[in-house]
Structure 1
Amino acid sequence: MNFPDGVIGNPIYESYRYRLNSALIFSGFDNHRIRLGIGAERAGLKDVREFKNFGPGVLDVDTRPFDLVSDEIIDVSGTPFVYTPNFERDIWYVSLQGEWQVSDDWALTAGVRYDKYSDFGSTVNPRLALVYSATDKLTLKALYGSAFRAPKAAELVFINNPTTLGNPDLKSEEIQTFELVFDYRFNSKLKGSLNAFNYESDELIELDDTFIFQNIGQQDGKGIEAELNWRVSEKLTTRINVSFLDAQLTDSNADKDQVPRFSSFLDLRYQFAPTWLMSVQSNWITGRERQLVDARPTIDDYHKVDVTLLWEPDRQWSARLTARNVFNDDIREPSPNTALFSLGLGFPNDFPMEGRNVVFSISYLF
């Protein structure tokens, strides 16, 4: 089979979402507030269409010559050969949260949320936060919570996609997190925080060797994050954030692939004139690993710098000039390993991110 114009696929769909939420807050008790929330949502994909020159319904051996040169685009809309069927999901939830000011120094927040999904079931997630104001400068926080991520439509129902196939039996991803936070205000211009955390996640969703999404098991992680906010002068402010993460797959004791072990962020803002502001943002990402079965070279670290110049003469007018990736660093996000690389498909050199680019915008508020 030859594809002189390349492998062409044009998937088309319409997405929709209807949502209704309400909340009732009761504060009739001393130092105590209760919040009750309830909501519902319907979302999905409809009017799915696809035009392509490959795959089932186009290159079936029984209906087309084996040496066909495929330069014809076939409409497979409304057939079993389209990349996904229509999809619809109904969700409703109820949540209850209480906030207690136990004393001048102690505050407690506790809550729970129940979610019901029409396609994969229900989930219950609690949260708890205990805050202690040790001094005028130091605040300690102990946090616990659980959360989930519902499978996306692509992970559930895709049927003729060349690189990924859905699995209707997927469960939602789950995570439990534990955090201990120290907030310290050195003075009116300088404050910092230190966050030590641990998490346990289960039913992670990833592609298996046959390109079908599966719940692969558990991942545990622990790390530390530090942040400093400093108002250097009336014109200059800075924020620095650094974090370290050790994430492992429990079943194999291997480092979690594609997750950076170290990252940092720097934000500088300089008000050099009453109506002019210049900001510089710097991101540094290091230590991403491949999957154990992935023999490609290690993913390169990267350093990305963005610069923005803002002119704001009044509350209505503003103009912004932004240069992203100023040093034109070759930034790559890891792509999944796949046998399709041997067919010239996929991204064997990872997903390329934008190089240097400049954007100018003007806005006016009526």
Structure 2
Amino acid sequence: MDLELIVCEAKHAFSAASDIAALENEKARFLGKTGKLTKFLKGIGQLDPDMRKKEGAAINVAKHQIDMALQERRQVLSDALLDARLATEIIDVTLPGRGMGNGTLHPVLKTWERVEYIFRSIGFDVADGPEIESEWFNFTALNSPENHPARSMQDTFYIEGNDDTGKPLLLRTHTSPMQVRYAYMKKPPIKLIAPGRTYRVDFDATHSPMFHQIEGLWIADDVSFSDLKGIYTDFLRKFFENDDIQVRFRPSYFPFTEPSAEIDMYFQTGKNAGKWLEISGAGQVHPTVLRNMGLDPECHVGFAFGSGLERLTMLRYGVEDLRLFYENDLRFLRQFM
């Protein structure tokens, strides 16, 4: 399928979307991590330099055309929704005020607290860092230099201005920068988790522009992949309160770990019964990342893992659409009181 055909198909799909949610799902089909246009982008690295430059320019043109069509359709749907609300919603300002109800923690924050409790119980520190992050900490220090393909997979929100060293600022795409920041403050052994808010340009049933992630890191002179497997398997069994959980590690690729693995969990009951579902990414800390921490990879070794708190919450409570967490619908949130 060539680029012109993908652009035409995207425009047709956007025009056929009847509401914002359907439009965002169509966007993911073309521009998401496994989208049709993204597959072209991932293949650029296999071309020679001249063809890479030519194909890259063509893909950028196609992406711009798809973005323009997306924005135009989004504006049309937003205007139609606003017109409908203005025509039907009437506020009676003479009605008496409503009393205050009892509140409770948001389900994602409940997961956050539960995860912290489990890892604190086995000796992990909890670290916190800035959400407005330097490009160097967010990408370069984690072995994703400028023009690295991994950057396009984590498209994010850049901010005007630079940090003290002249590096661009952005809303962090993961909590992984805390690996390097924490290593600057404390020498090995390092054993930490870093939960927090993160940001990427994604919005569909399983992705949100703002979401929560927990990063885990253990660096010492004698840790191994077996430690990673034991700790994370034990965490899942405690989190889901099920000692029969099966876990597998699949070879994968992340720029900041080598070797790398996707962690899957097998469900024996519920709507996911009989399925393996991805629940985390992990791996041994890449030597380049260790050097950027100021550590000698010949003397220190470690592993890292990253999990989405929304994904853990969805699997624990059987929620199928991540967007429900952020719509503030009390009928949904009361289930977790």
What TM-score comes out, normalization by structure 2 length? 0.24
What TM-score comes out, normalization by structure 1 length? 0.23
Larger radius of gyration: 1
More strand by share: 1
More helix by share: 2
Indicate the structure whose relative CO is greater, using CA pairs within 8 Å and at least 6 residues apart. 2
